[in-house]
């Protein structure tokens, strides 16, 4: 079986993407692709890993888990999604490193399904926006307590990606930038589910509907109907044009409010992030989805 882990990251539209995937659950199931609801596996997998505490699972653990997740049905591809698969926001800088729990958690997830083909999907986000957003979702009493001594300027997604590749060298890893997500939404649904590119899907504009004004969304859909794009690139150009004019400011503008952070801080973090993504794109075993 192919088992897909969409592992976040935290604060990157993970649950909204899962909801779009779930809209297609019935049609995907007809193709042997199962997208179970999160209540079927999130607590189950978390408690199983906690109980094992690094030990190898019993030989029948895989079948017991799959029977519970799939309700004794069969599947060729299973999609499991949770932004907290690695950790909750409060533990992102556990031990004074960026996602220091990644190797243990992902190796533990992999050991649960030793006979299956695993795939990982991970959204990245500019640390200038990611760190404040994750801090806001944590229960840390202060930014310093949240960061646990880590210098924001040292945060590199490429470090995390490299560690994931080292921990699970045979597992394909697909990444994308959260900033590009509005342009990639339909493709992400297809890539994660593994359906044929021509398969009709539901929810391909779910994120746009949330960040674009009703007037803009109505005009956008009317434009697509009267001027059907011939390629995915053309469609993304149309999306970008309508977002430029009709995006809801409160939904798309990042508000960074951390003590001591200046415009220079944000600009420096953004430049480092752009260089980091360039580096990730060239890493072996990693697929970067871009507009």
Mind listing the pLDDT tens digit of every residue in the chain (291 residues)?
A: 999 999 999 999 999 999 999 999 999 999 999 999 999 999 999 999 999 998 999 999 999 999 999 998 899 999 999 999 999 999 999 999 999 999 999 999 999 999 999 999 999 999 999 999 999 999 999 999 999 999 999 999 999 999 999 999 999 999 999 999 999 999 999 999 999 877 889 999 999 999 999 999 999 999 999 999 888 889 999 999 999 999 998 887 777 778 889 999 999 999 999 999 999 999 999 999 999
Q: Counting beta carbons within 10 angstroms of the beta carbon of residue 72, is it exposed (0 to 12), middle (13 to 18) or buried (19 or more)?
A: exposed
The alpha carbon of 169 is separated from its chain's Cα centroid by a whole number of angstroms, namely 19
CA distances from 259 to 22, 94, 144, 265 (A): 39, 21, 10, 11
Q: Residue 244 gets which letter from DSSP? A: H
Q: Domain coordinates of the chain in residue numbers?
A: 2-199+270-289
Nearest by Cα to 165 from 120, 203, 204, 195 = 120
CA–CA distance, 120 with 225 (Å, rounded to integer): 35
CA–CA distance, 241 with 243 (Å, rounded to integer): 5
CB atoms within 10 A of CB 185: 22
pLDDT of residue 147: 97
CA–CA distance, 195 with 287 (Å, rounded to integer): 17
pLDDT of residue 252: 77
Token pair 């697929």 in the structure block, residue: 287
pLDDT of residue 256: 79
Nearest by Cα to 77 from 6, 183, 147 = 6
CATH assignment of 2-199+270-289, among 2.40.160, 1.10.287, 3.40.50, 3.30.750:
3.40.50
Residue pair 123/65 in contact (Cβ under 8 Å)? The answer is: no
Nearest by Cα to 78 from 89, 88, 87, 67 = 67
Q: Counting beta carbons within 10 angstroms of the beta carbon of residue 170, is it exposed (0 to 12), middle (13 to 18) or buried (19 or more)?
A: exposed
CA–CA distance, 200 with 109 (Å, rounded to integer): 31
**Ramachandran area for residue 194 (φ above 0: left; ψ -120 to 50: alpha; else beta):** left
pLDDT of residue 108: 96
pTM for this model (two decimals):
0.94
β-pair type (77-81, 173-177): unpaired
Residue pair 109/49 in contact (Cβ under 8 Å)? The answer is: yes
Cis peptide leading into residue 282 (ω within 30°): no
Q: Residue 58 gets which letter from DSSP? A: P
CA–CA distance, 270 with 255 (Å, rounded to integer): 14
């Amino acid at each position: 079986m192919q088992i897909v882990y969409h592992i976040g990251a935290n604060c990157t539209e993970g649950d909204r993407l899962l909801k779009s995937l779930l809209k297609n659950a019935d049609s995907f199931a007809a193709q042997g692709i199962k997208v179970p609801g999160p209540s079927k596996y999130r607590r189950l997998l978390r408690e199983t890993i906690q109980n094992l505490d690094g030990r190898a699972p019993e030989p029948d653990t895989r079948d017991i888990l799959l029977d519970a997740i799939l309700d004794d049905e069969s599947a060729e591809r299973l999609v499991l999604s949770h932004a907290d698969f690695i950790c909750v926001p409060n533990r992102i800088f556990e031990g004074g490193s960026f996602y220091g729990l990644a190797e243990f958690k992902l190796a533990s997830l992999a050991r649960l399904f030793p006979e299956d083909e695993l795939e990982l999907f991970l959204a990245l986000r500019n640390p200038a926006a990611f760190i404040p957003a994750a801090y806001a979702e944590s229960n840390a009493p202060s930014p310093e307590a949240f960061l646990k001594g880590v210098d924001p300027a040292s945060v590199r997604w490429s470090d995390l990606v490299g560690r994931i590749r080292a921990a699970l060298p045979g597992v394909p890893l697909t990444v994308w930038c959260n900033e590009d997500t509005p342009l990639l939404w339909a493709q992400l649904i297809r890539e994660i589910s593994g359906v044929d590119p021509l398969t009709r899907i539901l929810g391909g504009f779910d994120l746009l509907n949330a960040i674009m004004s009703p007037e803009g969304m109505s005009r956008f859909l009317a434009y697509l109907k009267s001027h059907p794009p011939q390629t995915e690139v053309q469609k993304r150009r149309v999306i970008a044009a309508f977002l430029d004019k009709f995006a809801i400011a409160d939904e798309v503008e990042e508000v960074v409010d951390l003590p001591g952070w200046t415009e220079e801080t944000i600009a420096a973090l953004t430049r480092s992030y752009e260089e980091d993504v360039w580096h990730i794109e060239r890493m072996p075993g990693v697929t970067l989805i871009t507009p």
